Amino acid sequence: MNSWEVAYLGLGSNLGEREANLRKAMKMLESTGEVRIMRRSSVYETSPVGYENQPDFLNMVVQVKSCLKAKELLHHCLGVEERMMRERLIRWGPRIIDIDLLLYDNQTFKDSELTLPHPEMIRRAFVLIPLLELEPELVMPDGSSVSEHLAKLDEEAVNGVKVWGVVE
């Protein structure tokens, strides 16, 4: 059996009952016993990025421990998305749930299926802000801090991430 590693997942939803979607995804992530949610950030409401003609998102980050290897964890996340009926019609388009593997045990990795750390996370205030809430001193595998990346972002992007509440 694999050892239990720490990973961070970004969750987002902008269709249907957004809060219920986040709650359901977390429950489904833990359903097999191979993923345990250790901590969860507040939920933030944000405007869409990329394709803007869609509803606002609820976003959050969860810290998990998992006995799955990184690619297995990615497939588990994709399986949850599939079971929740996520449709991939438009890149960065509306979705009932989105689960991104952001960081996995301070590893770096890249192939056609998975890149660690998540390649877009350092450009997304809606990822960095909840990640900093969970781990204010978090350092990326390259030695840079999450707070350094957040400081480089456009003020409008940072100010557009509003605390919405918590999901139990």
Question: How do residues 107-141 score in pLDDT, each as one tens digit?
Answer: 999 999 999 999 999 999 999 999 999 999 999 99
Tell me the pLDDT band of 92, cut-offs 50, 70 and 90: low
Tell me the pLDDT band of 144, cut-offs 50, 70 and 90: very high
Helices marked H in 31-115: 70-83
- Report, as residue numbers or ranges, the catalytic residues: 86, 95, 98, 100
35: enclosing H helix or E strand: strand 35-40
Full domain range(s) for residue 45: 5-165
Q: How many domains does the chain contain in total?
A: 1
> Which candidate, 28, 49, 47, 26, places its Cα nearest to that of 166?
26
Can you give the CATH number for the domain in which 114 is found? Answer: 3.30.70.560
Question: How do residues 9-27 score in pLDDT, each as one tens digit?
Answer: 999 999 999 999 999 999 9
What angle, rounded to 10 degrees, do the helices at 70-83 and 18-30 form? 130
